[in-house]
Structure 1
């Protein structure tokens, strides 16, 4: 029997800048390694080596993907054994308030980075500055996109029947929660459903919802109350003591995109662009907030205004993606400098030490 693999983003490039939810997922783990080092190559190599070692074994893996390179990892958790390992460098600082006695920083620079030439230092400084500027430009584009999105939402908010929205929520609560959980300790894990990446929007909806009996696909235009419904589901689940997975929006981290209760076998999620899904599994059900709560004819009445807002919004999303791709290209040049200093034997030695730690946790 092979173990399960849960994929998600722990951080994201959002309209509020870089935002991360690492602490929610690391809290409570007994043995955690925080990776530090100028080069992402060594951290990436170590994380993927651990992933390859534990993939397919009879244990549950959580893989935290990088929003700057969604094929790469920036963290791995084996919750059954209380183990985690994550990239802890800027901008992903971990709060000291959750650090336990079994937490340890692994400084890859100290272990493996030889001295750099003066020319290399100058080039690193130049590339680092250009990467930072490209990321700032991406965040500015997404922030402007969010401002435009607010105008988009207002059209529908002004035409929405909030009493009908409340009725939708109440029906869902009655249907989804048969009673209170028997769990002694309520736990909420917060993550990102998807992320803005150099490739465009990426999500792991199918992976996250794998094995669930019911999926409720929330449809509707911007501002039709999808995130509000999800927030009320969170409140109800926490009140009733259920273990909960809450997935935030990778564009606006203050909004929610999915709520999932594995104990009850269901997920309810925003199924509109850029993570638009349609019923494809037994148990899938659509809930269209536009049809249920918004005055008929709103799309037609404001068609020209909506089309212009959508054009401006997509323009900013395209610009943000372009800047992220620019940052990725520059980072590739930076990594080529560090690659010349890369020491595989040191990475292997660290890997072997961490493997011993995990095996000890397994025995315990």
Structure 2
């Protein structure tokens, strides 16, 4: 069987601020290398190179992408080996379970020449302050957008037939889980399939579900019960011993956008804008909540009000995205300062040593 690559996010720039589920995705690993060191130390480049190398060796690789930089990753996982390498710098807080036995810190900051950086201290502090203010502004705007989104939801909540919604949810659970059962404790991983980035909304829905046999595309509107349906499906699978990947909404982490049950080769996801997709496999199925459980004519009855809400919501999201993009530009300025103070021979030595440590661990396992 060919090796697989999957891409997802463990963190999000959301309406609730910066949300971090990194621990949830690495707490089962037997070996974890935590990279320390700030801008321009090549953490992302190192991880991507390691991922490519092990993929070429025939091993599955998980890339945990950065919501703050579209070209960077926050970590890689080699699930078959139980090994991970993650960015352990702020805001990626990693709680070690057994330092030295499981976690090992790799400090790329030893490659800095502090003599070159000390004279630039004020510039560095100024840029860091500006970056923090950009994120603060973005999160404040996303919070405002959530308030507008609540107006959107109220329209459909007031026009939904909850009995029909319960009915279609239970039918879906019966179809997916049925009488299947596994005599084990279910594993749960909380993640994001996408979210707000400096380049706007990005998602990996099709990537994550590419090898899934049974895909359910949920169509509906805000407030039509998509997230509630997903929560019930996830709980049912967990109760029956199946491992579950729970993908939260990058905008509102309290809501769910997708559930994957790989042991049943099943994915159920919210397939509406900004992550709208359509069936492409003969086994794909659509669950049209709007047609099934929403009062007919709701879109038409509230057309003017919905257009106003949509316009306001998109405008605020655009403004918030602008601040994420500005933060990325400022971080690029910061990296340019640090590049001139880094000894890349030291970085290459650290990279080589880490590669050997992973190789040694692998050969000791074999």
The interval holding the TM-score normalised by the smaller chain is: over 0.9
CA distance in 2, matches of 1:137, 1:131: 10
CA distance in 2, matches of 1:172, 1:133: 45
What residue is the counterpart of 1:4 in the other structure? 4
> Do 1:258 and 1:267's aligned partners in 2 also have CA atoms closer than 8 Å?
yes
What residue is the counterpart of 2:196 in the other structure? 196
Q: Which stretch has the larger CA shift, 346-355 or 168-177?
A: 346-355
**Cα shift at 1:29:** 0.8
What residue is the counterpart of 2:256 in the other structure? 256
What residue is the counterpart of 2:265 in the other structure? 265
What residue is the counterpart of 2:358 in the other structure? 358
CA distance in 1, matches of 2:321, 2:64: 21
Any idea what the Cα deviations from partners look like across 1:214-249, whole Å, max 9, x if unmatched? Answer: 110001110000000000011101000001111111
> Do 1:13 and 1:197's aligned partners in 2 also have CA atoms closer than 8 Å?
yes
> Do 1:35 and 1:105's aligned partners in 2 also have CA atoms closer than 8 Å?
yes
CA distance in 1, matches of 2:190, 2:305: 35
Q: Which stretch has the larger CA shift, 212-221 or 54-63?
A: 54-63
What residue is the counterpart of 2:113 in the other structure? 114
Number of equivalent positions:
363
What residue is the counterpart of 1:87 in the other structure? 87
> Do 1:248 and 1:256's aligned partners in 2 also have CA atoms closer than 8 Å?
yes
Report the secondary structure of 1:186's partner residue. Answer: coil
TM-score (norm 2): 0.95
What residue is the counterpart of 2:134 in the other structure? 134
Any idea what the Cα deviations from partners look like across 1:287-312, whole Å, max 9, x if unmatched? Answer: 11111111111111111111111111
Does residue 39 (structure 1) correspond to residue 39 (structure 2)? The answer is yes
Q: 1:54 to 1:87 in 2, by over 3 A?
A: same
In the alignment, structure 2 segments of 5+ residues that lack a partner are none
**Cα shift at 1:198:** 0.9
Does residue 318 (structure 1) correspond to residue 310 (structure 2)? The answer is no
What residue is the counterpart of 1:65 in the other structure? 65
TM-score (norm 1): 0.96
**Cα shift at 1:80:** 1.2
**Cα shift at 1:52:** 2.7
Q: 1:207 to 1:90 in 2, by over 3 A?
A: same
What residue is the counterpart of 1:179 in the other structure? 179
Any idea what the Cα deviations from partners look like across 1:14-70, whole Å, max 9, x if unmatched? Answer: 001111111111012111111121215421222122123223321111100111122
**Cα shift at 1:210:** 1.2
Report the secondary structure of 1:55's partner residue. Answer: helix
Report the secondary structure of 1:70's partner residue. Answer: coil
Any idea what the Cα deviations from partners look like across 1:93-142, whole Å, max 9, x if unmatched? Answer: 12345867320122222x21111344411111111111111111111111
> Do 2:182 and 2:240's aligned partners in 1 also have CA atoms closer than 8 Å?
no
What residue is the counterpart of 1:220 in the other structure? 220
- Equivalence map 1:265-344=2 (5 Å): 265-344=265-344
CA distance in 1, matches of 2:123, 2:305: 47
Report the secondary structure of 1:7's partner residue. Answer: strand
CA distance in 1, matches of 2:18, 2:174: 37
Q: 1:194 to 1:117 in 2, by over 3 A?
A: closer
CA distance in 1, matches of 2:100, 2:143: 36
What residue is the counterpart of 1:152 in the other structure? 152
**Cα shift at 1:197:** 0.6
CA distance in 1, matches of 2:102, 2:7: 25
Report the secondary structure of 2:180's partner residue. Answer: coil
Q: Which stretch has the larger CA shift, 94-103 or 241-250?
A: 94-103
Q: Which stretch has the larger CA shift, 97-106 or 78-87?
A: 97-106
CA distance in 2, matches of 1:289, 1:56: 42
Report the secondary structure of 1:159's partner residue. Answer: coil
CA distance in 1, matches of 2:248, 2:314: 21
CA distance in 1, matches of 2:314, 2:329: 23
**Cα shift at 1:357:** 2.2
Q: 1:276 to 1:41 in 2, by over 3 A?
A: farther
> Do 2:218 and 2:272's aligned partners in 1 also have CA atoms closer than 8 Å?
yes
CA distance in 1, matches of 2:341, 2:127: 17
> Do 2:117 and 2:341's aligned partners in 1 also have CA atoms closer than 8 Å?
no
> Do 2:41 and 2:347's aligned partners in 1 also have CA atoms closer than 8 Å?
no
